[in-house]
Amino acid sequence: MRSGGAGVLLLALIAAAAVVANAAVTYDHRAVVINGRRRILMSGSIHYPRSTPEMWPDLIQKAKDGGLDVVQTYVFWNGHEPARGQYHFADRYDLVRFVKLAGQAGLFVHLRIGPYVCAEWNFGGFPVWLKYVPGISFRTDNGPFKAEMQRFVEKIVSMMKSEGLFEWQGGPIILAQVENEYGPMESAMGAGAKPYASWAANMAVATGAGVPWVMCKQDDAPDPVINTCNGFYCDYFSPNSNGKPTMWTEAWTGWFTAFGGPVPHRPVEDMAFAVARFVQKGGSFVNYYMYHGGTNFDRTAGGPFIATSYDYDAPIDEYGLIRQPKWGHLRDLHKAIKQAEPALVSGDPTVQRIGNYEKAYVFKSSAGACAAFLSNYHTSAAARVVYNGRRVNIDSSEQFLKSGQWPQLTINSAGHSVQVFVNGQSFGVAYGGYNNPKLTYSKPVKMWQGSNKISILSSAMGLPAISDMVTLWRQNQGTHYEAWNVGVLGPVTLSGLNQGKRDLSNQKWTYQIGLKGESLGVNSVSGSSSVEWGSATGAQPLTWHKAYFAAPAGSAPVALDMGSMGKGQIWVNGNNAGRYWSYRASGSCGACSYAGTFSEAKCQTNCGDISQRWYHVPRSWLKPSGNLLVVLEEFGGDLSGVTLMTRTT
């Protein structure tokens, strides 16, 4: 149990320690060794595509000012290779620029290449084209998958080498990661799991990156790869070899928000306690996941049902603003730990019991440095959019035509939202949720004698991204990403006819992928002027809207209030700001106390309110006046309620 009164007090007596020059990054049982010196490293996750390049320098500087040594990021395969062999490393995906900026600020980089990343990112970072490689089976001992994975990992390592970005080249990259949280999946993945994990580790080392590799949540990571911990707490963790340091690659600062879910928060008192406890027990590397969460622009949110905001209750909020007291409290903790670094890295602590709930962990170096953690553990003292169309003929003898009773249309879908039209008239929507994305639409629909046209608009809220088995079972998903589907898989039935239930599933349906307006470019500055726009006439579903606005004065971050709208997507000057959805959060939010063990369901807000109301519009997208706002509204909404505001907190 973590407790309200529990705490860790760090006392330090510092003496000078000799530094041995060495150009390589290595490790021993106590710590990562840089230039011959053991280091206690404080790290923070900042994902480069979740902010704009114009934001990066400020985010990195705030991370440094907060006492961090390292910036950690995933590498997003589907962002960098949207089509096989066609690469994208520009704008928000300019990985080299991001790494160089971190180095120029005096920070190290931990590069998590994966290429499976989870991260609540669409399809876990896998490009969708990978699903269609003949004979492929993801994340197992499968030749086609391993060949594609190796090709991408080697490309990233080669790119970093060619830019001189590894530490032995004078660059900032001191650590790399292959795979991601695979250990809990092994039993479900069968006989191919362990050979695959071993192959991934050996393949990564063979790239010649020249820095240590880690595998998180991978208890069987083979030497020299370091297995590491992810979680709210990792003080229980120890690596699988006495020669490896104790590392925490994801110290969760909060949790993600899902459309239809409340907003999670983690008290900084509990966060600081968890970090101090980890270092007290011998940990030497802590990475805050996230330090800045940012925004799921475009269609990058995975999950599914992950909100566009990836704020994560991080020390730096979605807009790049410092979140107090979390940022400042952790900064002060880092200062105390850094003061004690010479003693902390010198060896293992001695433990002294000084009360029923109190212990002292004492670190001493041969040079005279001394640090002690005094701890008290008392628990009470202090999408892509799909159209399916099919014509259905109704005979004049059908009884519902005479009685006025409409037939019942039933549609089974793997998710995530469907909207039904019969003869051009809307007959409502149905949608799932984060805990159960599957859905069933079943409503009476008005039909007439003769030919009737049924159209189903199926909208995906991101492809699954989660590797955790409990979450997969909760979402009724399998273990192999290549076998997952969303959308209307059937059956589609019509009941209430003379012959009873009529199955429409196997009839020939026409099929159209994407948004016609998007293909015409109505969401872009140039394309919006090439089509004729009419006046808004109330809340209509499936409608494109546009407006022009001036940027607010000053440099404060900007957000759109979309609380009056239904569901859709936003473009500003042709840039996709992501999905919006005024989906109200379920649950009952109570008072928050940092006493006891934290979980994502413990300290929540917004129950009964809209999960996400405000949507980030980066300043770099704006000009002083004449900014184009384009909105695709799926359900219908009140345009008069859309406002633009600056953010200060």
The catalytic residue positions are 181, 250
Sign of CA dihedral 259, 260, 266, 267: positive
Residues 63/253, Cβ–Cβ less than 8 Å: no
382-413 residues labelled b (16+ CB within 10 A) or e (exposed): ebebbbbebebebeeebebeeeeeebbbebbb
DSSP letters for 323-364: -TTHHHHHHHHHHHHHHTHHHHTSSPPEEEE-SSSEEEEEEE
Residues 391/507, Cβ–Cβ less than 8 Å: no
Which residues make Cβ contacts (< 8 Å) with residue 215, sequence separation at least 6? 177, 178, 179, 182, 183, 197, 200, 201, 221, 225, 226, 227, 228
User: Taking CA 177 as the corner, what is the angle to CA 59 and CA 99, rounded to the nearest 5 degrees?
Assistant: 35
Strands (E), 365-487: 370-376, 385-394, 408-413, 417-422, 425-431, 439-444, 450-459
User: Tokens for 620?
Assistant: 């770099």
Look at residues 635, 638, 298, 258 and name the one whose alpha carbon lies nearest to residue 457. 635
Q: In degrees rounded to 5, what are phi and psi of residue 204?
A: -60, -45
User: Tokens for 127?
Assistant: 């490009």
Sign of CA dihedral 390, 391, 393, 398: positive
Pairing of strands 567-572, 425-431: unpaired
- At 3, the amino acid letter reads S
Residues 95/71, Cβ–Cβ less than 8 Å: no
Sign of CA dihedral 448, 450, 451, 454: positive
Could you give the 3-state DSSP secondary structure of residue 199?
A: helix
Look at residues 518, 524, 124, 481 and name the one whose alpha carbon lies nearest to residue 300. 124
The CA-atom distances, in angstroms, between 92 and each of 49, 51, 54, 88, 493 are 5, 7, 9, 10, 45
Look at residues 128, 170, 193, 167 and name the one whose alpha carbon lies nearest to residue 34. 167
Give the neighbor-by-neighbor strand order of the sheet with 358-364. Answer: 7-13, 370-376, 358-364, 350-353
How far apart CA 453 and CA 445 sit, in angstroms, is 11
Q: Find tokens 């192959």 and name the residue.
A: 199
Burial environment of residue 530 by CB neighbours within 10 A (0 to 12, 13 to 18, 19 or more) = exposed
